[in-house]
Each structure stands twice: as C-alpha cells, then as structure tokens.
Amino acid sequence: MGFLFEWFLVPVRHATLLRGFLRQEIRGRYAGSLGGLLWSVVTPLCNMLIYIFVFSVVLRMRLQIEETGTESFVVYLMAGLLPWMAFAEALQAASGTFVSRAELITKVSFPLQVLPLTTVCSTFLLNSVGLLVFLGYLALTGQAGAAWLWLPPLIAVHLLFTLGLVILVAGLAVFLRDISQFMGLLVSLWFYVTPILYPLSMVPERFRWLIGVNPMYPFIELYHQVLLRQCLPPGLAVTAVILAAVSLLAGTYFFHRARRALADVL
C-alpha cells in the first residue's frame, strides 16, 4: 500500500513544484485574454442567468419540493451540474496529462504524480468559482443551512474519486492514444445517465438500475441533499467514500505498475 500513501506525501514534499504547475495551468487557460481570471466568474454567472431565463421564465418548470428540496428546476440543475463540470473537465483533460508533457517528462526528472494532481486541482479550483457564485445565490434567497458544513469533506471525497480516475486514464492514454476520443464520448453519455437534468422519480422503474450502477450518482445526490435538503444521508456518504477509495486504489496501483514504461513509450 506504499504506492497509495506516496500520493498523499507528494503535495507536502513537493508543494512548491505543485503550486508552480497549478499556476502555469490556470494562467495558461486564460493566456492572451483581456479578462484573464475574471472569465472564471463571468462564465458561470452568465450560464446561471441563461438557465434561470430558459427554465424559469420560458419553460416555467417546477419540481416537487418534498422530493428535491426545491421547486426551482434551475436550482436543482445547478446543484448537480456545477460539481459534475469539475469532474467532467478533469476526466476529459486526463488523457493529455502525460502525453502533452512528453518532452518535459523525458528530459527532466521530477515526481510524475504532480501532473495528475495538477489536472484535478486546477479544474476543481476553477469550477469552485461557479460553486461560490451559486452558494451566494442560495444564501441571498434564504436557502443556506448548517448542512453546508459538510461541503468541504464532500468536495474532498469527490476530488479523490476524480483523482483516481484521472490517474488511470492518464496512464492508459500513454499506451492507447484513442483514449482521448473515447473519453469525450463516455463523459457525454455518463452525463445523461446521471440525475442532473432530472430527479430520480422521473426515471422509469425498468431503467433505474442504470442509476444504481452509476458511480457518480452518490456524489451528485449528496450535493443535492446537502445544498437543497440540508442533510447528509449516511448510506450515500459511506458509498461515496468507498467509491473514492476504490478509484484511488485502482488508479495509483496502475500507475505504480506502469510508471517505468511511461517514459519509454512517451
């Protein structure tokens, strides 16, 4: 299990290196733009306004507050969409984590664990801006609660689950270059079988098994419960922790076995 604990030591032992990669990744995303990091605030805010107009003003969609914790379809949508976006962006960027830095990896000696950590942390940091805007909206409309104290550990578990998959996909992409195209298709399909655009009650009974085997369902449902219903279901929380542990163990084990071949293949 030493290969797993090694990943927890990297952010401590190589904190300066990790910060440097994070700074480069975030600045590189907005390089050359006049707005810079301001776009990380403007973009989610504009998206929220568009969703509010389309679903609340035009379509006038309403939900059952007893089931979802809110009558607003937009609020329900954003509570699941914002954490999904952090996960999806990290997973789609994973295939280029090692491949896009092949020249650096083959010429400079540094801990490769820093690269997947950079991919995940940068996407979560940038998407946290949108989440903060959403939390501000909920607070202003009187929907804040003490259950929000569960958000930091929930985000941490969500991040670890994502990190495990990113490590796995990043390693596989070195040997199978078609992974990047496959991940784009997988993430799109995965989005529609996750209760983000609809509550579970709208899914026909014969198709609910798809939700049951969806590893993102516990995480999205926990965000819905914590943000909208002001509670943390213990069963879902335990499931999310187990999924994060399995994902992280699988990803780090694969990296441990394939590390020596990475530089040779690149």
* Predicted local confidence at residue 37, as pLDDT: 64
- What is the pTM (predicted TM-score) of this model? 0.91
Residues 151, 160: Cα–Cα separation, whole Å = 14
Residues 123, 42: Cα–Cα separation, whole Å = 16
Give the residues across from 72 on adjacent strands: 62
* Predicted local confidence at residue 50, as pLDDT: 81
Contact yes or no for 225/69 (Cβ under 8 A): yes
Tens-digit pLDDT string for the chain (266 aa): 777 788 888 888 888 989 998 988 887 776 656 555 676 667 767 777 787 787 777 777 777 776 788 888 888 988 999 999 999 999 999 998 888 888 888 777 888 899 999 999 999 998 888 898 889 989 998 888 899 999 999 999 999 999 999 999 999 998 888 888 888 899 989 998 999 888 888 888 888 888 889 999 999 999 999 999 999 999 999 999 999 999 999 999 999 888 877 776 76
32's torsion region: left (phi>0), alpha (psi -120 to 50) or beta?
Answer: left
* Predicted local confidence at residue 155, as pLDDT: 97
* Predicted local confidence at residue 266, as pLDDT: 64
Structural domain spans, the chain: 2-265
